Amino acid sequence: MMPKIGGFGFSRLFDSIETSNTSEVTGTRVYMPPEYISKRQITPKFDVFSLGIIILQIMAGKESYTKCVDTSSEVFIELVYQFWANRMQGTISKHTSREVRTCIEIALKCVEFSREKRPTIKEIIQKLNKIDIVECSSIHQLYRAKEFSFEFLVNITDKFSKQNIVGRGGYGIIYKGVLKDGEEVAVKKLHQMLWIDDEQFKNELNNLMRVQHKNIVRLVVYCHHASHIFVEYEGKHVSASVVERAICLEYVQGGNLDNQLSAEPCKLDWDKCHKIIKGICEGLHYLHNADTPIYHLDLKPENILLDKDMVAKIGDFGLSRLFDSPQTYMTQSQDIKGTRGYMPPEYINRHAISPKFDVFSLGVIIIQIMAGKEGYFSFPHTPPKEFIKNVRENWRMKVEATMPPHASEEVRTCIEIALKCVEDDRMRRPTIAQIVNELSNIGVAKSSPVSQWANKLNVLKTLLSSTHFKFKYWLFLFVAVISMFFAWAKFCPDSWWQGITRRT
């Protein structure tokens, strides 16, 4: 049932969205707005009015428009809602209820007598897209996620067996499960606690649904299951609502970064460490530069998962928030339960949130990768230059030989980046874009002529994409063309130059 708009016999093309007048266009009177009937005025709101009539007819029958004219909006919405409740045999879900009310509210706005009060089609689409997503069926439609029942998740985790526990993340326990096609998944089942509400759960769900990146843990399944049980309370048996919530994620085989850093001896050589650092930075860059930026707010080694090839993947978005711009936000919320050692001073003191929150956490993680988990606690008492020197020497000792030049340069650059990231003043911390750019330009590209040219090409692409460079480029081009013109005129025959001057 995919609708397709046809019948363009009366359509016209207009150069603007302003009002146009006509004496020729004919159509179907019931779908015509008042301004066209009385003054033959045509704007985009003509179609919006017609759309409103169509939605009313879909929602409440073909005679609905005449009913809504003689009835208040509130009463009409309630009548349509009851009509759909009866049609669905009295069982209308909370989500469907929101859909019905939203659609009828949109329709009534579309058929406003004054066209200025009607919404634009863009506003209508935005409102439809903002209908809360709390049911599995709607998630399948809107986010293309696979839809599974809670019972299915119980089966693939062997009834959430203790033997299948692979970790404990924010707000819940993570279990290993196996799908029918053999794909291993991680099922994060949330604790049954009062402070976990639907809004927190939807926050994590919506964040995970939106991200698609090699350095971000991928969402496989979402499930929200409500049931009722009888429990004894003050000597009586009462009905209680039980809500089971679970998020099913891709299973990352290498465990988390914290396990690797805590292992004795640590099995991470420098190439793996460098790969992990770059992966975390690229994943964070993706989050911060999305259409609507995502701040993680709980970045730490436990939330950095590693696959079998040591590719870092950022996970556990239980505390992340969505923001419309990369500015600073103040929050009074007491429910952000991050990890204090990874929180920046401005959040601890003033609850200020900005992209530099995650940058600070990133700096702490890089220092722990570079200098060990204990190394982070020693650097505040050591001058930066001495700390960098000590870290480089430690890595030389680890490889039991002189590191090649490119590796030594990588170590120095990474620790310099980390020290900038943990500056107390957030204005002195780099952005994640600056960090990714700096990591891309370090000496590793000097290992071969091919990689040299590849690096130069990347730098050139970055340069060409900047607005500042574009302005300088066009200014230079303009000056060059003018200079060439006068140089040409100077050496051309006098008769030619005189002809030009006569015309001017």
Which pLDDT score is estimated for 66? 62
CA separation, residue 168 to residues 87, 176, 504 (Å):
45, 12, 81
Fold exhibited by the domain 270-462: Transferase(Phosphotransferase); domain 1 (1.10.510)
Which pLDDT score is estimated for 218? 84
Report which of 203, 179, 477 is spatially closest to residue 320, judged by C-alpha positions: 203
Catalytically active residues, by annotation: 298
Which pLDDT score is estimated for 277? 96
> Which sequence spans correspond to the domains of the chain?
15-129, 136-250, 270-462, 467-503
Which pLDDT score is estimated for 389? 72
Which pLDDT score is estimated for 384? 64
Report which of 293, 296, 275 is spatially closest to residue 360, judged by C-alpha positions: 296
122 is in an annotated binding site: no
Which pLDDT score is estimated for 438? 92
The residue type found at 50 is: S
CB within 8 A of 336, min separation 6: which ones? 297, 319
Which pLDDT score is estimated for 466? 44
Which pLDDT score is estimated for 462? 47
Which pLDDT score is estimated for 141? 35
Fold exhibited by the domain 136-250: Phosphorylase Kinase; domain 1 (3.30.200)
Which pLDDT score is estimated for 105? 86
Paired strand residues for 321: 295
Cα separation, 349 vs 425, in Å, equals 12
Cα separation, 57 vs 65, in Å, equals 7
Domain 136-250 matches domain 270-462 at the CATH topology level: no
What are the residue ranges of helices labelled H in 263-404? 270-288, 345-350, 355-371, 375-378, 384-398
Residue 31 near residue 25 (C-beta atoms within 8 A): no
Give the pLDDT of the chain (504 residues) as one tens digit per residue.
Answer: 677 887 765 565 555 555 666 666 566 777 888 888 888 888 888 999 888 888 888 877 766 556 665 666 677 777 776 777 666 555 555 656 777 888 888 888 888 888 899 999 888 887 876 653 333 333 333 334 445 677 888 888 988 999 999 888 666 889 998 877 777 888 888 776 555 566 766 666 776 677 788 999 988 777 777 766 666 667 776 666 677 888 888 888 888 999 988 887 777 888 899 999 999 999 999 999 887 788 898 899 999 999 989 999 998 875 566 565 566 666 655 555 567 788 898 988 888 889 999 999 999 999 889 887 766 666 555 666 676 677 767 766 665 455 666 787 888 899 899 989 989 899 999 999 999 999 988 754 444 555 555 555 554 554 454 444 555 566 677 777 777 766 666 665 555 555 555 554
Supply the CATH classification number for the domain 15-129.
Answer: 1.10.510.10
